[in-house]
């Protein structure tokens, strides 16, 4: 068992780490819920803030939630029947290859008709091509197609957006078409299946949003450009003067160091320590080839020693400031970080910046690396804390006592193996 | 320059001040009306609560997601708690006037002092910019890149009951295992999220009105699925635009405000010079300071242990070298001095990863596409990989040191075999 105060500190430290992790997980789950929902089937509606779209944008607006009119369904039924007839006619006089193609298309549809949500693009393009042979669906009024309706030669290119747009209205009864071909049932299903996969590229942002968003980015750009100008310099002088006056009117005897500043300096010193150590290891592992390099190495080590000495001196100063100033702690012990540690940003950092990725794999690599770096940083911090708390325990506990071995084993596992593996201790009995 | 301009506009100063204050109050989140500012100059008590709330809002960390756009969230604490937090926050930032600490806890007095505190915060740093960036409407998708973002969005933590009493070390091992497991979960969830984002970005290719972006983000696609949410997003965008415009007006009119604040400061009575003693409380930061002190001390010892023998050996060998030696010596010294100065700059001037700070909108673009502003993921991956290697090396070194120390301590009990686990 560990002593109470040590336990409290260590448990608190580990629980902080767990909480931070849990918070990230929560945020991720939130985003995951939203993304998963978007990839399922849903009904798109343009927000009501959008005024009634003009006729020229009609073709690109995603299909509204209402069912297609009876009239249109009937027309498409007729169209389908005509096409089926045409297929039969064509089949009877065509080569085997063509029949094979038509059959494979049909069987493809049969296989996928089960889930309306995953209409293959072939089906939509099939319907699209059929519809595009007729007039635009809004005014679909004739079925002229019999001889030309076969899809094989008429598959529109996938990138042909205008056709797809027109085909979009027709794909609504798409599932109905397929059902006809398979089940030959009279009533088309025509569910309003919208999936991002098929019809995502048809979405168009509403005008109000576009205006607001472009104004937003324009304003942010203006924001960053006004950071440097004459009037700002005058304001800066006025501000400095004001701060001076504030300081002079106060009766405070303080040395001017705030707790936030101390914390910031401690962070810098921590960074300094690891950089200095890294440099030292580099020097020690290098093999000097000649006396010049040897001398260089010696000077570097001495220089590092001098810098470390200065850092230690700064630590003493900070210690004195903390002790003498009676600095009060921040309430929750963590808030100071919220005071923008990212202050090192300068120009154009306020306007939106982009992160470009080219494939999902790349994005996943990036995200995984980022998490790994954060995890390593946390592990290093925990390692240092555990070292500081546990080693004194091991040295002060009686080695001959019963719990010492248990403690050593646990300490080894925590500190040297990251808690993943355990060593075994055997008594080395002399062979008598 | 500025003064000349002001004198010429002295006649307009009367009109410029209300405009400046109105712009300021619109830019600030939960900004009080300009009337409050005027009353605060005369230290009217009715202006105090609004200013306490404003300072609380400015100084406390934000809730987790920016979706709660309302300034007065339902969980905002009572006025007394706000007063307490504001006082300790200002104190910890080094607010120079004692009068603030002496204000009553019920928040009924001290509007002039609060006004001075607000001005002090504004003068010290880019407060407005930071506040606006904090509540910025995120239209694009992001993955949190820098630590500050991950922390800043954490928000106030729920109070946790502390473990009282001694704890078995196995409990610590259990907690470590739980932590490892949580990280694994996190990475898996993150991979899934990236895959979903990739899909959404490809499916909405070409839909965005802004050609440089090319595809929609999750928030924008949500506009279609959830019109009500879309309306709210639009509202937030528009109010942010209004705040940005107010901020631009404020920057044009700032000087007038600072002149006015001088008069406010002048209206305060001078503080008495005898310091009142406040109770001493051990700081949280002290333990961090001790950790760093210990590390630096250890490093110093190591360096001395390595450098001194080398110096001795060198002196023994290098005696009796000629004058050309001193020139070489000096050159070496300068070179080393430069190297070490660069090293020192590396931690004094902030992270090398400066470009990863700040939110970045994810945009999927084909690898072959032409350049344009924006950070390429491949570059960032390279930077992160080298950082990963560096950190792994540090961790490895720490673990080796632990192992050496344990070996030394284990010598206290001879006659045992320590069998290391496989894979070491």
| CA–CA separation, B320 and B332 (whole Å) | 18
B298 contacts chain A (CB < 8 A) = no
In percent, how much of chain A has pLDDT > 70?
60
Compute the average pLDDT of residues B358-381.
80
Percent helix / strand / coil, chain B, rounded to 5: 65, 5, 30
Given pLDDT bands bounded at 50, 70 and 90, which one contains residue B148?
Answer: low
* Residues pairing with A424 in the sheet: B419
Give the B window 225-244 contacts with A, CB below 8 Å: 225, 227, 230-231, 233-234, 237-238, 240-241, 244
What is this model's ipTM?
0.80
Q: Which of B123, B192, B240, B328 to mutate to probe the A interface, most A CBs <10 Å?
A: B123
> What pLDDT is attached to residue A140?
36
| Contact pairs from chain A to chain B, CB under 8 Å | 639
Token readout for A25 is 């997980």
Taking residues B384-400, report their average pLDDT. Answer: 88
pLDDT (tens digit, 9 = 90+) per residue, A138-177? 433 444 434 443 433 333 343 344 444 444 444 444 343 4
Q: Which among A368, A391, A408 has CB closest to B191?
A: A368
- What's the confidence (pLDDT) of residue A287? 78
Inside any domain, residue A8: yes
pLDDT above 90 for A364: yes
Asked if residue A20 is part of any domain, the answer here is: yes
pLDDT digits (tens, 9 = 90+) for B157-166: 555 666 577 8
Check A303 against B336: CB less than 8 A apart: yes
The pLDDT-based confidence of A225 (bands split at 50, 70, 90) is confident
Distance from CA of A71 to the nearest CA of B (A): 28
Token pair recorded at residue A229: 């100008």
Short-list B199, B213, B370, CA closest to A360: B199
Chain A residue with minimal CA distance to B413? A399
Question: Which among B147, B367, B393 has CB closest to A358?
Answer: B367
Smallest Cβ–Cβ distance between A49 and the set B165, B231, B247 belongs to: B231
Strand residue runs (E) in B282-391: 360-364, 375-376
| Of B311 and A117, the one with more pLDDT | B311
Does residue A23 lie within any of the structural domains? yes
With CB atoms and an 8 Å threshold, state whether B167 touches A307: no
Residue A394 has a pLDDT of: 87
pLDDT tens-place string over residues B406-423: 888 888 888 888 888 886
Nearest neighbour of A371 by CB, restricted to B137, B186, B361: B186
Say whether A266 and B363 touch across the interface (CB within 8 A): no
Best A355, A368, A401, A423 member to test B by mutation, with max B CBs in 10 Å, is A355
A47 touches chain B (CB under 8 A): yes
Top pLDDT among B17 and A185 is at B17
Query: Any chain B CB within 8 A of the CB of A397?
Result: no
Q: Which residue has the higher pLDDT, A164 or A295?
A: A295
Q: Pairing mode, if any, of strands B416-419 and B360-364?
A: unpaired
Min Cα distance B251 → chain A (Å) is 7
As given in the structure block, the two tokens for residue B389 are 């290697």
Q: Is the pLDDT of residue B301 over 90?
A: yes
> Within a domain: residue A14?
yes
- Give buried/exposed letters for A190-207 (b at 16+ CB in 10 A, else e): bebbbbbbbbbbbbbbbe
Chain A CB contacts of B13 under 8 Å are none
Q: What confidence tens digit (pLDDT) does each residue in B259-299 have?
A: 999 888 888 877 655 455 444 444 555 677 888 898 899 99
Q: A349 — phi, psi (to 5°)?
A: -90, -5
Q: Which pair of structure tokens corresponds to residue B46? A: 């009715």
Residues B109, B212 contacting (CB under 8 angstroms) = no
- The verdict on residue A32 lying in a domain is yes
Please indicate, yes or no, if residue A19 is contained in any of the structural domains. Answer: yes
Q: And the tokens for A93? A: 């006089």
Nearest to A273 among B175, B299, B311 (CB): B299
Q: Which residues of B touch A367 (CB under 8 A)?
A: 143, 190-191, 193-194
pLDDT in the model for residue B10: 47
Residues of chain B neighbouring A375 (CB-CB closer than 8 A): 183
pLDDT band at residue B329 using 50, 70 and 90 as cut-offs: confident
- CB contacts of B422 in chain A (<8 Å) are 421
Partner-chain contact A1 B169, CB within 8 Å: yes
**Cβ contact, residue pair A380, B179, below 8 Å:** no
Asked if residue B205 has pLDDT above 70, the reply is yes
- Check A21 against B182: CB less than 8 A apart: yes
Give B204 to chain A, closest Cα distance, Å. Answer: 5
* Within a domain: A189: no
Distance from CA of A241 to the nearest CA of B (A): 9
Residue of B328, B375, B381 lying closest to A353 (CB–CB): B375
Q: Please give the mean pLDDT across all residues of chain A.
A: 70
Q: How confident is the model at residue B180 (pLDDT cuts 50, 70, 90)?
A: very high
Q: How far is A108 from chain B (nearest CA, A)?
A: 22
Nearest to A425 among B164, B209, B416 (CB): B416
Q: What is the pLDDT of residue A369?
A: 94
Token couple for B195: 């895959």
List the single residue in A208, A220, A418 with the smallest CB-CB distance to B234.
Answer: A208
Alpha-carbon span B302 to A272, nearest angstrom: 16
Min Cα–Cα distance to chain B from A348, Å: 11
Tell me whether A333 touches chain B (CB under 8 Å). Answer: yes
Shortest Cα distance, chain B CAs vs residue A114, angstroms? 23
Residue B410 is predicted with a pLDDT of 84
Sheet strands (E) in B256-368: 360-364
Q: Provide the pLDDT for residue B319.
A: 65
Residue A379 burial (C-beta neighbours within 10 Å; 0-12, 13-18, 19+): buried
Check pLDDT > 70 for residue B356. no
Residue B71: pLDDT band by 50, 70, 90 thresholds? very low
Looking at residue A32, what is its pLDDT?
Answer: 94
**Residue A129 domain flag:** no
Residue A295 has pLDDT above 90, yes or no: no
Cβ–Cβ of B300/A309 closer than 8 Å?
A: yes
Tokens (6 digits) for A15:
């629980």
Asked if the Cβ–Cβ distance from B416 to A3 is below 8 Å, we say no
Asked if B311 lies within 8 A of A385 by C-beta distance, the reply is: no
Given pLDDT bands bounded at 50, 70 and 90, which one contains residue A432? Answer: low
**A76 pLDDT tier (thresholds 50, 70, 90):** confident
Write out the residue range of the structural domain in which residue A26 sits: 1-36
Nearest Cα neighbor of A19 from B190, B284, B152, B154 is B154
> Per-residue pLDDT tens for A18-36?
999 999 999 999 999 999 9
| A294 contacts in chain B (CB < 8 Å) | 310, 314
> What is d(CA B283, CA A258) in angstroms, rounded to the nearest whole number?
12
Which of B203, B258, B364 is nearest residue A357 as measured by Cβ atoms?
A: B364
Interface test with A, best of B179, B259, B279, B409 (most A CBs within 10 A): B179
Q: Is the pLDDT of residue A42 over 60?
A: yes
Distance between CA atoms of A336 and B61, rounded to whole angstroms? 9
To the nearest whole Å, the CA of A341 is away from the closest chain B CA by 7
pLDDT for position B186: 95
* A95–chain B Cβ distance below 8 A for any pair: no
- The predicted model scores a pTM of 0.70
Contacts of A22 in chain B (CB under 8 A): 182
Find tokens 């009217």 and name the residue: B44
Listed residue (B72, B65, B88) closest to B32, CA to CA: B72
Number of domains in chain A: 1
Binned at pLDDT 50, 70 and 90, residue B92 comes out as confident
């Amino acid at each position: 068992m560990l002593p109470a105060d040590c336990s409290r500190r260590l448990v608190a430290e580990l629980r902080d780490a767990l909480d931070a992790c849990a918070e990230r997980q929560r945020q991720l789950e939130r985003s995951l819920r939203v993304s998963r929902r978007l990839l399922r089937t849903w009904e798109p509606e343009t927000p009501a803030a959008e005024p009634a779209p003009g006729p020229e944008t009609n073709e690109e607006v995603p299909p509204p939630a209402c069912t297609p009119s009876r009239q249109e369904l009937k027309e498409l039924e007729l169209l389908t029947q005509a096409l089926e007839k045409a297929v039969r006619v064509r089949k009877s006089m065509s080569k085997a290859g063509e029949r094979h193609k038509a059959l494979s298309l049909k069987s493809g549809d049969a296989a996928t008709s089960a889930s309306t949500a995953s209409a293959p693009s072939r089906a939509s393009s099939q319907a699209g091509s059929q519809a595009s042979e007729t007039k635009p669906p809004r005014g679909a009024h004739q079925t002229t197609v019999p001889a030309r309706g076969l899809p094989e030669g008429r598959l529109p290119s996938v990138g042909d957006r205008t056709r797809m747009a027109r085909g979009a209205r027709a794909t609504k009864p798409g599932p109905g078409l397929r059902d006809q071909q398979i089940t030959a049932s009279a009533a088309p299903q025509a569910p309003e299946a919208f999936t991002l996969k098929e019809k995502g590229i048809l979405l168009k942002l509403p005008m109000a949003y576009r205006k607001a968003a472009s104004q937003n980015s324009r304003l942010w750009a203006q924001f960053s450009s006004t950071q440097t100008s004459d009037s700002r310099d005058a304001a800066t002088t006025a501000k400095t003067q004001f701060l001076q006056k504030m300081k002079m009117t106060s009766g405070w005897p303080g040395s001017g160091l705030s707790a936030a500043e101390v914390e910031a300096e401690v962070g810098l010193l921590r960074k300094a320590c690891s950089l200095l150590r890294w440099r030292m290891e580099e020097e020690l592992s290098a093999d000097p080839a000649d006396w010049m390099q040897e001398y260089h190495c010696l000077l570097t080590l001495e220089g590092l020693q001098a810098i470390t000495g200065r850092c230690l001196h700064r630590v003493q100063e900070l210690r004195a400031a903390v002790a003498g100033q009676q600095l009060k702690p921040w309430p929750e012990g963590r808030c100071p970080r919220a005071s923008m540690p990212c202050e090192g940003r300068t120009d154009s950092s306020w306007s939106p910046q982009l992160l470009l990725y080219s494939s999902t794999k790349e994005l996943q690599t990036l995200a995984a690396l980022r998490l790994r770096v954060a995890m390593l940083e946390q592990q290093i911090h925990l390692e240092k804390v555990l070292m500081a708390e546990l080693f004194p325990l091991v040295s002060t506990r009686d080695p001959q006592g019963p719990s010492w071995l248990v403690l050593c084993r646990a300490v080894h596992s925590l500190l040297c193996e990251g808690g993943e593996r355990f060593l075994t201790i055997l008594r080395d009995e002399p062979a008598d | 320059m500025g003064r000349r301009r002001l004198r010429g506009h002295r006649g307009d100063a009367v009109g410029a001040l209300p405009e400046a204050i109105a712009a300021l109050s619109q830019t600030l989140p939960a900004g009080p009306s300009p009337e409050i500012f005027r009353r605060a100059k005369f230290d009217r008590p009715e202006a105090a609560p609004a200013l306490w709330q404003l300072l609380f809002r400015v100084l406390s960390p934000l809730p987790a997601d920016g979706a709660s756009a309302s300034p007065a969230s339902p969980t905002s604490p009572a006025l007394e708690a706000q007063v307490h937090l504001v006082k300790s926050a200002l104190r910890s930032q080094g607010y120079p006037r004692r009068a603030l600490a002496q204000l009553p806890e019920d928040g009924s007095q001290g509007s002039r002092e609060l006004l001075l505190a607000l001005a002090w915060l504004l003068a010290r740093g880019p407060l407005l910019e930071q506040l606006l960036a904090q509540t910025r409407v995120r239209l694009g998708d992001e993955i949190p890149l820098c630590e500050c973002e991950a922390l800043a969005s954490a928000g106030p933590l729920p109070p946790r009951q502390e473990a009282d009493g001694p704890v078995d070390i196995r409990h610590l091992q259990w907690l470590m295992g739980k932590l490892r497991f949580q990280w694994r979960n996190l990475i898996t969830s993150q991979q899934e999220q990236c895959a979903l984002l990739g899909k959404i970005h490809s499916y909405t290719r070409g839909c965005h009105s802004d050609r440089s972006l090319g595809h929609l983000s999750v928030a924008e696609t949500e506009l279609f699925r959830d019109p009500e949410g879309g309306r709210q997003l639009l509202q937030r965008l528009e109010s942010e635009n209004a705040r940005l415009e107010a901020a631009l007006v404020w920057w044009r009119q700032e000087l007038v405000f600072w002149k006015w604040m001088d008069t406010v400061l002048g209206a305060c009575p001078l503080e008495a010079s005898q310091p009142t003693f406040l109770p001493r409380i051990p700081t949280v930061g002290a333990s961090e300071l001790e950790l760093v002190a210990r590390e630096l001390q250890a490093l110093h010892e190591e360096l001395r242990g390595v450098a001194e023998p080398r110096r001795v050996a060198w002196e023994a060998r290098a005696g009796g070298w000629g004058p050309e030696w001193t020139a070489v010596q000096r050159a070496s010294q300068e070179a080393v001095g430069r190297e070490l100065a660069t090293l020192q700059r590396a931690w004094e001037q902030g992270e090398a990863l400066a470009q990863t700070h700040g939110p970045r909108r994810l945009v999927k673009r084909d690898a072959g596409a032409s350049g344009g502003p924006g950070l390429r993921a491949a570059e960032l991956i390279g930077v992160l990989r080298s950082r990963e290697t560096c950190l792994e090396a540090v961790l490895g070194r720490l673990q080796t040191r632990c192992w050496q120390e344990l070996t030394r301590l284990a010598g206290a009990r001879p006659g045992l075999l320590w069998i290391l686990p496989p894979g070491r």
